[in-house]
Amino acid sequence: MNLVICFFLFAAFALLWTWPSALCATQTNRTLHVKPAHALARNFYHESCPRAHEIIRSQIVKVIKQNPSEAAGLLRTMFHDCFVQGCDASILLMGPMLSEQFAAPNMRSLRPSTNLIIDHIKAQLEAACPDVVSCADTLVLSAAIAVQLVGGPHIPVLLGRRDSSSAASVQTVVANLPSPQFNIFGLKQKFRSHGLNSKDLVALSGAHTFGHAHCRIVGLQLTPRVSADLDIDFAANLSRICLPANNPANGAATVHLDFITHDRFNNNYYKNVLNKVALFHSDAALLEAPDTKDLVQRYAKNEEEFFEQFKVSMLKLSEIGVLTGKNGVIRKKCSVSN
């Protein structure tokens, strides 16, 4: 009898010891930006739309041959989509609700041509496989292919996302996107809130190696006084292009994010940061913390290391807040809700 009592006492003690830990683990998992392991797959459309990848790639090849700078527009649109309520193509919606593109961080930052590109590709996909391939997958895969076509690494993105039927509010957009005026603390906090670490922050900032910036944003580094972030001669050149800001001609003007290899995806951005010829305060801010400064220096010397981390970080970015399974919809046209 004593042995029986001891056995039950031991079992009860073990249950009390392990139950709180199990409960905490369950609660912790609910807060992580983790998708179910089976939700996305490389060959997701293998049976339902076997030509999906081929269709998207062939269209992006045509786009990049005509205008290589469109690669930067596609990648930026993907980033701005994924950072706001997840990679659900909500950023492409133009009606009937208020579009995310009219929020301040997106105005003149995103290219209208990107919507046209994705809508055209989606029309080809609908003709081949009606109601199968999502706009979210179309955008993510298009961006990944475009990056590779202009010199970047191959990014083996997984597929299986579904689309949102509604756009995020302006307040949600503003609250989620990092500002070009952020310091390193603000940048780390914003990326951490999306499940991304310092390596992801520095690697994804490398997307500033191509594309354009509007003078209205660059002007913040030039007035009322020239920022200490900028090389003096470089700032003088920017001022000739972008100032005075109230000049209508300059108000719509843009400058290359990288003046040397502006349509190529490479590691030149990190050299620009070190040489004080990167455009935004958020670029220079990467030198404010030892860990991010070390990464900038390493990527400036070693493009292969940058590419390897960029692939990892892009995959993490592409899986933020995805809708899968029975969640979300498949929009027939990416710019409008079904």
**119 annotated to bind ligand:** no
Which ranges of 193-289 would DSSP assign to H, the alpha helix? 198-205, 215-218, 232-242, 248-251, 268-274, 281-284
Contact yes or no for 270/306 (Cβ under 8 A): yes
Residues in the chain: 338
**100 annotated to bind ligand:** yes
Tokens of 3: 């042995």
**31 annotated to bind ligand:** no
**208 annotated to bind ligand:** yes
**233 annotated to bind ligand:** no
**156 annotated to bind ligand:** no
Q: What is the DSSP string of 160-212?
A: --BB-SSPPPHHHHHHHSPPTT--HHHHHHHHHTTT--HHHHHHHHGGGGSSE
80 is catalytic: yes
Which ranges of the chain would DSSP assign to H, the alpha helix? 2-31, 52-66, 70-82, 112-128, 135-149, 170-176, 184-192, 198-205, 215-218, 232-242, 248-251, 268-274, 281-284, 290-301, 303-318
**179 annotated to bind ligand:** no
**186 annotated to bind ligand:** no
Annotated catalytic residue within 38, 53, 80, 256:
80
**303 annotated to bind ligand:** no
Q: Which residues make up each annotated binding site?
A: 81, 84, 86, 88, 90, 100, 178, 208-209, 258, 261
State the binding site for Ca(2+).
Answer: 81, 84, 86, 88, 90, 100, 209, 258, 261
Positions annotated as catalytic residues are: 80
Binding residues for heme b: 208
Sequence ranges of the binding site for substrate: 178
